[in-house]
Structures are given as structure tokens and as C-alpha cells.
Amino acid sequence: MREILTLVRKDLDVEVRTKETLASLLLLGLLTLLVLSFAFDPTSAMRAEAAPGALWVAVTFAGVLALGRAFLIERENDCLEGLLASPVDRGNIYLAKTLSTFVLMAIAQLGIVPVFVLFFDVEPTPALVGVLAAVMLGVLGLAALGSLLAAIAVRTRAREVLLPLLMLPLIVPAFIAGVRATQDLLAGGSLAAAQPWLGSMLAIDVIFLVVGWLLFGAVVEE
């Protein structure tokens, strides 16, 4: 645990100094929501139907951006090699990167979700807590899958293209569940009604975390 906390603290120290990742995530998420909010007539029912999809598009774009940056800081000065030469367990490097990426993405979502509520005229009901929970589960899945795939992509020349190409097809099931959970919750359904979707997302997150933890060592070893 000490190793994981040390690594997470380092990532957050870098972010505190640069403020690059959080600013980019917020900006991209907000711009995505702004553009999508203009795509639908404010008085049309379609706007309400499209709202969950718009939220998850913003979550996805911001997530891809965050993961691209997460391993970029390890690439400069070959810092990843410094971590690999240290006695830190490879699995802990993976878990730490997942955790620090999740923290940054989660903070960004705390800014993005209220703007979504504003732009899409969503009723501020207790159901929004469920929506936020779904978003956090989606973000955790993105961080867990993306941290593994970003470690592969960062060593290639086409990393900016490769990461979304590898990640998006695999994250789709989790995001479909996220969209459906958000739909149910915004349509006035209870948290219990959305529970099957949230449960699916949690299961997918656990699978990504376990697979990532098991494979990370093999991915980074030469």
C-alpha cells in the first residue's frame, strides 16, 4: 500500500505543479456538452432522450484524453524505466496509475456533471446521485482498462491513435450500461431500477482491474 500511495502522490504532485490534465479534461468535457446541447431543440423531447448519450460522450472524450496524458509523464526522461528498475511491484505501478488517473477524472466529472444538468435542463432530483455513481463507475472502468492499454501504446509511435483504437471497443459494454443506467435514473426510476446496469458496470470494472493487475508486468517487461 505504501508503494501505491507514493506513486499516486507523485502523480498528483505533478498535476498540482502543471494543472494540465485537469484543465484539459474540464475544458474538453464542457465543450463537448456545449456543442451537443446546441444539437437539440431545447423544447424537443429528443433533447431529454439524448441527454444520457451526451453525458457519456463527454465522459469518454475526457477519459481518453486523461489516459493519454497519464503515461506521457512517465515517458519523458524514461521515468517508467526508473520505476521498473526499482523494487516496486509491477502490479502496484498499475494500481497506482489507475488510482491517480481515476482521481483526476473523477474530479473533472464533478465539474462536468453539474454543467450537464444545466445544459440539458435535467431536474435536480436525488436521482442525480445515482447518475454520478454511474459516471464514477464508468470512469473507474476507463482508468482500469486505459492504464493497461496506455502502457502498451506509450511505447509506440502511433500512441495517440492506438490508445483510443484499443480502448474504445473494449469499454463500449460498460458505457452502454452507463447510458442505460443514466436513462433509467433521469426518467424518474429509482436507484434499484438502475441497479442491474450499475452492477454490470461494477463487474466490468472488477474484471478490468484484475486483468490489468495480472497483465501489466508482462506488458512492460522487455
Between 3 and 191, name the residue whose CB sits nearer to another protein: 3
Residue with C-alpha cell 446496469? 197
| Residue 147: Cβ within 10 Å count | 27
DSSP state of 156: S
Q: Please, which residues have CB within 8 angstroms of residue 213's CB and are 6 or more apart in sequence?
A: 91, 94, 95
Contact residue for another protein among 27, 48, 50, 84 (CB under 8 A): 84
Contact residue for another protein among 41, 43, 45, 76 (CB under 8 A): 76
Q: How far is the CB of 93 from another protein (least distance, A)?
A: 10
Contact residue for another protein among 34, 35, 42, 82 (CB under 8 A): 82
User: Restricting to residues 88-117, which ones interact with another protein according to CB under 8 A?
Assistant: 88
Q: How far is the CB of 104 from another protein (least distance, A)?
A: 14
Between 6 and 156, name the residue whose CB sits nearer to another protein: 6
**Site size with another protein, rule: CB under 8 A:** 25
Between 88 and 132, name the residue whose CB sits nearer to another protein: 88
- In whole angstroms, give the CA distance from residue 180 to residue 178: 5
Give me the 1-40 binding string for another protein, x by CB under 8 A, dash otherwise: -xx--xx-xx--xx--xx----------------------
The torsion region of residue 85 among left (phi > 0), alpha (psi -120 to 50) and beta comes to alpha
Residue 16 Cα to chain centre, angstroms: 19
Residue with C-alpha cell 433521469? 186
Between 36 and 83, name the residue whose CB sits nearer to another protein: 83
Q: Please, which residues have CB within 8 angstroms of residue 11's CB and are 6 or more apart in sequence?
A: 70, 73, 96, 97, 100, 101
* Residues of this chain that bind another protein (CB under 8 A): 2-3, 6-7, 9-10, 13-14, 17-18, 73, 76-79, 81-88, 221-222
